[in-house]
Amino acid sequence: MARRPASLRALVAAALLALLVPFAAPARAERLIVSVSNARVTVTPNYSGGELVLFGAIEKDHPAFTETAKYDLVITVLGPRSSMVTRRKERKFGIWINTDSREFLMVPSYLAVFSNRPTDAIAPLEVRRRQQLGISHVLLTQRIGTDYADVVADDQFRKAFVRLLEDRKLYREDAAAVKFLTPTLFRTGIPLPAEVPIGSYDISIKLFAAGELLTETDTSFEIAKIGFEQFVATAARQHGIIYGLVTALMALATGWMASIVFRRD
Amino acid sequence: MQLYLPIADIPVNVLLVLAMGAAVGFVSGMFGVGGGFLMTPLLIFIGIAPAVAVASVTSHMAASSFSGALSYWRRRAIDPLLAFFLLCGGIAGTGLGVWFFVLMRSVGQLDLVIAVSYVVLLTAVGGLMVYEGIRAIRRTNRGEVALAGRSGNRNWLYALPFKVRFKRSKIYLSVLPVIAIGVLIGFIGAVMGVGGGFILVPMLIYLLRVPTSTVVGTSMVLTLVTMLIATVLHAATSHLVDAVLALILMIGGVAGAQFGARAGQRIRGEQLRLLLGLLVLAVGIRFAIELGIRPAELFTLRELGPA
């Protein structure tokens, strides 16, 4: 009876050691330090698009021991999630009508993948899939009938979905957007189109060397309406009937004023 | 001059939207129609989401029809009783139309329904108006006196029961066809996002033999009330009415309508109808072409919202 707790303790210790070993193992340890130029972008009446800048540095724990490796960076910006539906037109009875459709569930409304060189040169396919590098590997869940799945990257609905959002500058991939200022200091611009979705954005920064993930970090920024825009948008969403009545009254007042101003008798 | 629209979520050029409002207002003042069938496609063209465009145009049309209705009221050119019965049908029709709108939107065929109804209605109404306008102009050129609208033979609609005397229009007519027309206009208006004046005016003139002196003013009352209801309904259900966009449109629209009304008085009635017919027909043909040719992009994308 007395021996059993001791053996249990030994077991736990062994398990803890086994867990710790992989973390202690890498000889090189890098850390990423990043900062966005503006953590809160406000949409004002004269907003017509803009650009954020992300700066970062790669910090090494033991600079003396490690030779400077060739680093690669993949930065993925994910906007607020929403569901969308893609429909395909087909010719029926001489006219073009919507026939087939796919629903994309909780997919990013903004998606940008920036890297310092093409992602297929940075990491092998298996790593790109696992780390969701590039638009073709980012998970876009579709509902097909009762199934929920992401399909192969060259599925025509997925391709059309990505193409339509690329046309609206909401999805983009740029393999030359990340610039190394020094071997360990980098920057990239995050362009925001005029019709940018409101909400919080996550930025995931992944550091690679020789096709392997060394480390990763996250940061975020927010796009918010303020002042009058915010007031109108909130009123419309939360007090729909009152908002509608006020708009209707505004219409009546405008019409009445016009008939006074332009009255000819 | 850029301005960010809070509901449409895009920046627009204020002067461009003002000019669009004024141009459509000019047309609507000239012909005595709401102009929704022009405004909604224009807004979609400059990049505003179709649902936001339809919802916001309703309040714009309420404003322009109110200013129009006020001036017709002063000239005693509105038949209140006729307007009342049209409204009874119109409100019911609007409810039916909104229900149909939601149903078609959920099965993904709303675009098709809107396009087909634009094609059918606009080409049919436009074609009839052009035909009638050309005949009338020929008659006047030949020196004949145009037939007074009311002397035409009373059709079977006058044989229906529940007759009411519409004093200001000086007609004695059953309320049934009046209510039926109201239902139809309300339904069409809700589905197509238009006031329906361009269909209602010819129907009242040719089917019910309402005199031209009261027809435009009375149709404006129907447009005013249905569009006010539609504004509140859209705001309460889909939250897509952009008040800022609507206000810019209203200001441009009511100003344009005044100049349009003045220009309209200088043109002879039959020429006016021919011009309106050509305009309606042109919009209808444009929708028909769009349906028939292979679109450059076969896929479309619609947001379902964050839920």
Which member of A82, A251, A265 has the closest CB to residue B63? A251
Which chain B residues contact residue A163 at CB under 8 A?
299
Same domain, A237 and A176: no
Which chain A residues contact residue B293 at CB under 8 A?
96
Same domain, A133 and A111: yes
* pLDDT for A187: 93
| Domain membership flag for residue A245 | yes
Intervals of chain B under pLDDT 50:
146, 148-152, 307
For the stretch A186-241, pLDDT in tens is 999 999 888 788 889 999 999 998 888 989 999 999 988 777 777 888 888 788 88
Same domain, A117 and A234: no
Which chain A residues contact residue B244 at CB under 8 A?
232
pLDDT greater than 60 at residue A66: no
The answer to whether residue B2 neighbours chain A at the CB level (below 8 Å) is yes
pLDDT greater than 70 at residue A21: no
- In this prediction, residue A264 has a pLDDT band, given cuts at 50, 70 and 90, of low
pLDDT greater than 90 at residue A77: yes
pLDDT greater than 60 at residue A5: no
* pLDDT for A112: 94
**Closest CA–CA distance from residue A152 to any residue of chain B (Å):** 18
| Domain membership flag for residue A239 | yes
> How far, rounded to the nearest angstrom, does the alpha carbon of residue A88 sit from its chain's CA centroid?
26
Same domain, A251 and A188: no
Same domain, A190 and A245: no
Query: For residue A93, what are the contacts with CB-CB under 8 A and spacing of at least 6?
Result: none
The CA-based dihedral angle spanning residues A37, A193, B106, A90, taken in that order and rounded to the nearest 10 degrees: -140
How many domains does chain A divide into? 2
Cβ distance B235 to A80 less than 8 Å, yes or no, reads no
| Domain membership flag for residue A151 | yes
* pLDDT for A79: 92
* pLDDT for A115: 93
* pLDDT for B150: 45
Cβ distance B63 to A255 less than 8 Å, yes or no, reads yes
pLDDT greater than 60 at residue A157: yes
pLDDT greater than 50 at residue A25: no
| Domain membership flag for residue A6 | no
* pLDDT for B187: 87
- In this prediction, residue A18 has a pLDDT band, given cuts at 50, 70 and 90, of low
Q: What is the mean pLDDT of residues A54-70?
A: 74
The CATH number assigned to the domain holding A144 equals 2.60.40.3880
Same domain, A220 and A248: no
| Domain membership flag for residue A125 | yes
Contact B219, B197 (CB under 8 A): yes
A92 to chain B: nearest residue by CA? B292
* pLDDT for A201: 93
* Pairing between β-strand A171-174 and β-strand A111-115 as defined by DSSP bridges: parallel
* pLDDT for B151: 44
Same domain, A169 and A85: yes
Q: What is the mean pLDDT of residues A70-76?
A: 91
Cβ distance B108 to A98 less than 8 Å, yes or no, reads yes
Residue of B11 and A83 predicted with greater confidence: A83
* pLDDT for A108: 92
Query: For residue B15, what are the contacts with CB-CB under 8 A and spacing of at least 6?
Result: B1
| Domain membership flag for residue A180 | yes
Which chain B residues contact residue A237 at CB under 8 A?
239
Distance CA A168, CA B300 (A): 12
Beta strands per DSSP E along A95-164 = 95-108, 111-115, 142-144, 147-149
Same domain, A220 and A250: no
B225 to chain A: nearest residue by CA? A248
| Domain membership flag for residue A12 | no
Distance CA A73, CA A117 (A): 8
Which chain A residues contact residue B243 at CB under 8 A?
232, 236, 243, 246-247, 250
Cβ distance A241 to B236 less than 8 Å, yes or no, reads yes
Domain that holds residue A86: 27-225
Least confident of A39-53, A107-121, B172-186: A39-53
* pLDDT for A1: 41
Same domain, A71 and A48: yes
Q: Which two tokens stand for residue A227?
A: 């002042």
Same domain, A248 and A198: no
Q: What is the full DSSP assignment across B115-134?
A: HHHHHHHHHHHHHHHHHHHH
CB-based contacts of A259-262 (< 8 A; 24+ apart in sequence): A259/B66, A259/B67, A259/B70, A259/B71, A262/B67, A262/B254, A262/B255, A262/B258
Segment 87-116 of chain B within 8 Å of chain A by CB:
108-109, 111-112, 116
Same domain, A156 and A238: no
